[in-house]
């Protein structure tokens, strides 16, 4: 890796694109085949996460290039959460299979919410359609708990906070809890305002007294969400790849 100069910004749109392209090329060259999910569930998790991470990064950079860096920064929270989930899943090799299964099974168990919504007494489904839905539920082993979708897939509340504090086997020597806390502040707490549209995430679009409400094609982000987006994108795309390769037993 080329060492950046003392005054060179290590985070930029160009460097982010270069990193995305490099990871995509390497993955395609490796041509990793996923194994049986009932035996090697992490293969499926890794494949999903790597593909999703690259899609998120490309989407964020595209938004930045078109003048929507605030929206790109909000998207970075999803990238950080992918990173944290993988950090948790791969932290203990002895629990890799169990945690991978828990992650994958949430895609099925969370369907109980939609099943309950679909099958309520006010539903317009015919008897035949209800029978088909019931059969699908039984065959898919969907549980009867519609509130499962509102609960953390891991069963651990505040998973992001706890996992970011705990060390991981792949951490570098200079990784400390204090540094990881700062990272979480920028990539999770900071981005949340842009996801949930609370006031900090709307400052770019605020108006001065007596200023007319006009929708402009270009806005000046407050703060500099261009740099923040590039930083989170580069750091956590690398982290996601690192955790996936670690879980798969491939040198990173």
Domain extent for 138:
111-152
- Asked if residue 70 is part of any domain, the answer here is yes
| Rounded Cα–Cα distance for residues 181 and 241 (Å) | 21
Same-domain pairing of 142 and 195:
no
| Rounded Cα–Cα distance for residues 85 and 75 (Å) | 16
Same-domain pairing of 126 and 48:
no
The stretch 134-160 carries a mean pLDDT of 90
Same-domain pairing of 145 and 198:
no
Reply yes or no on whether the pLDDT at 218 is more than 80: no
| Rounded Cα–Cα distance for residues 52 and 75 (Å) | 12
Name the 3-class secondary structure at 224.
Answer: coil
Per-residue pLDDT band at 114 (split at 50, 70, 90): confident
Whose tokens are 């509130």? That residue is: 147
Output the pLDDT for position 6: 54
- Radius of gyration of the chain from its Cα atoms, rounded to whole angstroms: 21
Same-domain pairing of 51 and 85:
yes
Q: Is 31 left (phi over 0), alpha (psi -120 to 50) or beta?
A: left
pTM of the model: 0.90
Output the pLDDT for position 20: 98
- Asked if residue 7 is part of any domain, the answer here is no
- The predicted-structure confidence for 153-179, as pLDDT tens digits, reads as follows 999 999 999 999 999 999 999 999 999
Same-domain pairing of 121 and 174:
no
Output the pLDDT for position 2: 45
Output the pLDDT for position 213: 93
Whose tokens are 């109980």? That residue is: 112
Output the pLDDT for position 174: 92
């Amino acid at each position: 890796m080329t060492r950046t100069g003392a005054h060179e910004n290590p985070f930029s749109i160009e460097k982010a694109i270069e990193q995305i392209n490099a990871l995509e090329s390497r993955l395609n060259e490796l041509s990793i085949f996923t194994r049986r999910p009932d035996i090697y569930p992490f293969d499926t998790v890794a494949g999903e996460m790597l593909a999703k991470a690259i899609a998120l990064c490309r989407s964020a950079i595209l938004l930045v290039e078109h003048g929507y860096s605030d929206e790109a920064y909000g998207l970075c929270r999803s990238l950080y959460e992918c990173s944290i989930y993988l950090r948790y899943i791969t932290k203990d090799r002895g629990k890799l299979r169990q945690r991978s299964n828990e992650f994958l099974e949430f895609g099925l168990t969370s369907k109980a919410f939609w099943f309950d919504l679909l099958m309520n007494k006010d539903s317009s489904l015919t008897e035949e359609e209800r029978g088909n839905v019931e059969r699908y539920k039984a065959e898919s082993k969907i549980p009867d708990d519609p509130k499962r979708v509102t609960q953390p897939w891991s069963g651990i509340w505040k998973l992001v906070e706890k996992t970011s504090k705990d060390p991981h086997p792949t951490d570098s020597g200079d990784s400390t809890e204090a540094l990881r806390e700062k990272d979480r502040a920028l990539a999770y707490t900071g981005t949340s305002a842009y996801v949930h549209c609370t006031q900090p995430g709307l400052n770019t679009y605020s108006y001065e007294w007596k200023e007319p409400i006009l929708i402009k094609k270009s806005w000046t982000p407050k703060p500099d969400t261009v740099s923040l987006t590039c930083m989170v994108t580069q750091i956590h795309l690398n982290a996601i790849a690192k955790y996936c390769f670690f879980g798969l037993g491939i040198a990173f």
